[in-house]
Amino acid sequence: MSAMDLQVLRAFRAVAEGLTVTEAAADARVTQPALSRALHRLEEEIGAELLQRVGRVLRPTPAGRVFKEYVDAALDAYDRGRRAVAEVVDPAAGVVSLAFLHTLGTWLVPRLVTGFREEFPQARFELHQHEENGLIQHLLEATADLVITSGDPGHPLITWRRLLVEPLWLAVPRGHRLARRSRVRLAEVAQEPFILLKPGYGLRSVTETLCRQAGFTPRVGFEGEEVHTLRGLVAAGLGVSLIPSSPDAAGTSGFPIRYLEITDVHGARDIGIARLTGRTLPPVARRFLDHALRSAAVPAADPG
C-alpha cells in the first residue's frame, strides 16, 4: 500500500466522519479538486458509490459505511505496525496509549505519567478520558494499550491488577446536621438527596452498591459528569455525595464542605490497571505498566 493510497483512505475516513472535502484536503495538504478526483477513483476501484451529497456535505452511503469499517481496521493496523517498528528501533521513545477514568485525571494519572517520563523522557502519551464502559471498549477495540479504572471489569479477555484502594468519604454541606461530626453511618443519610455521577461511571455504581449494603437505595438529587461538579453541588446545599479521597480533594479546604468517614460499610473503591490478556504490549507500554504497579500505591490524603 503506497503513501498515496493511505492518504486517500485517511481522507475518505475523514469525510465519512463529517469533514468537508475542503477540510480533508487541507489536512492532507492537497488541493480540493485533486482529493475529489482521488475519492472518485477510489469509488471506481471499489465498484460502488461510497459518498453521496446530502445538502452541502457528503455522507457515506450504505456501501460506504460498510467499507469504512474495513478502512478503519486497515489504518489502525498500519499505524500500530509503524508504532511497533519504531519501538523496536528505540523502545524507550514509543507511545503509551492510556485511557482512564475522569476522576483520576486530576491526581493519579498526572503523577504516574510525570514519574515515568522522568525515567523515560522520550516516551510520549496518547491519553483518553472516559467512563467505565468506554474504557472497556478502548481495550477491546485496541485503541488503548492500558486503562486505569475502578474495580475488576470481570471480562474474560481482560487482565486487571489492583493499583491502590481509594477511600470514599461522605461529603455534606458545612451547614448540614451532621457537619460537626467526623464519622457517620451511611444509613443516616438514607432519606437525603444524593449528588451522583451519571450511569456508566464507576463511582456511580460503587455509590449505589454501598447504599444497598447500608440498607437503602440512594434518592437521586442531581447527576453530573465530574467529581468537581459533585463537590460544587454539595457545597451549594443540594444534597450529599460519596467523594473519592484523592489528593486533589485536599485543595478544597476553603469549600463549604465537610468530609465524614463512613463506619457502617467499607467506603472505598479499588483502582486498577487493565490490559487485553492475549495482546502483547509494546515495550514502552509494558514499562509503564510495571512503573504504575510499583509507584501507584501511596497513602491517599484525608480531604479534611
Instruction: Report the predicted TM-score, pTM, of the whole model to 2 decimal places.
Output: 0.64
CATH class held by domain 3-88: mainly alpha
| CA–CA gap between residue 15 and residue 157 (Å, rounded) | 33
Task: Give the pLDDT confidence of 229-249 residue by residue, as tens digits.
Answer: 898 899 999 999 999 865 444
Write down the pLDDT at residue 122. 86
Average pLDDT over residues 113-126: 91
Q: Using CA atoms, how far apart are residues 59 and 304, in angstroms rounded to an integer?
A: 54
pLDDT in tens, 131-163: 777 788 888 888 889 999 888 888 999 999 999
Q: What is the pLDDT of the chain when averaged over all its residues?
A: 86
Does residue 132 contact residue 149 with C-beta atoms inside 8 Å? yes
Model confidence over 78-114: pLDDT tens digits?
A: 887 877 776 666 666 678 999 998 778 878 999 999 9
Give the rounded distance of the alpha carbon of 286 from its chain centre: 19
Say if CB 168 and CB 302 are below 8 A apart: no
Domains 3-88 and 91-163+270-295 share a fold: no
Q: What residue spans define the domains of the chain? A: 3-88, 91-163+270-295, 165-269
Structurally, what CATH architecture does the domain formed by 165-269 represent? 3-Layer(aba) Sandwich (3.40)
CATH class of 91-163+270-295: alpha beta
What CA–CA distance (Å, rounded) separates 188 from 159? 38
Predicted confidence (pLDDT) at residue 277 exceeds the cutoff of 70:
yes
Read off the C-alpha cell for 26. Answer: 487541507
